[in-house]
Amino acid sequence: MSSLQTAPVFRALTQPQMFAGVTYNYFVINAVVTTELFLLTRSFWAICAALIIHSIGYILCLKEPRIFDLWIMRNSKCGRSKTHHIWRCNSYRP
């Protein structure tokens, strides 16, 4: 039996669009949160908050680049059932 021929898949082809180490959606959300924080506090300490938020996103995106997309999809499609407090999982039987 002959061996299978494989072609390498480059990471850049399977990874989402990134900007400064985080996904583009996360970067935009970080910019919006930082802008709102600056407008509310009228302090340049909002830049420090932006760096902290970006660092958290960068660390999370190192392991799985689509972590935020997966989290948003999970929360929008897979809500908790009424019996979650009993079984500690989604079970639809009593």
- pLDDT tens-digit readout, 9-61: 777 778 888 899 999 989 999 999 999 999 999 999 999 999 999 999 999 99
How far apart, in whole angstroms, are the C-alpha atoms of residue 25 and residue 73? 14
How far apart, in whole angstroms, are the C-alpha atoms of residue 94 and residue 85? 12
How much is the pLDDT for 37? Answer: 94
pTM score, two decimals? 0.68
User: 94 falls in which pLDDT band (50, 70, 90)?
Assistant: low
Q: How many CB atoms lie within 10 A of CB 31?
A: 13
Instruction: Using the CB atoms, write b or e for 48-76: b if 16+ within 10 Å.
Output: ebbeebbeebeebbeeebebbeeeeeeee
Q: Report how many domains make up the chain.
A: 1
How much is the pLDDT for 1? Answer: 63
Q: Which residue has the tokens 């709102």?
A: 36
- Residue 90 predicted with pLDDT over 80: no
Q: Containing domain of residue 51, as a range? A: 15-87
Q: Is residue 1 part of a domain?
A: no
Q: Is residue 34 part of a domain?
A: yes
How far apart, in whole angstroms, are the C-alpha atoms of residue 80 and residue 78? 7
User: 8 falls in which pLDDT band (50, 70, 90)?
Assistant: confident
Q: Is residue 9 part of a domain?
A: no
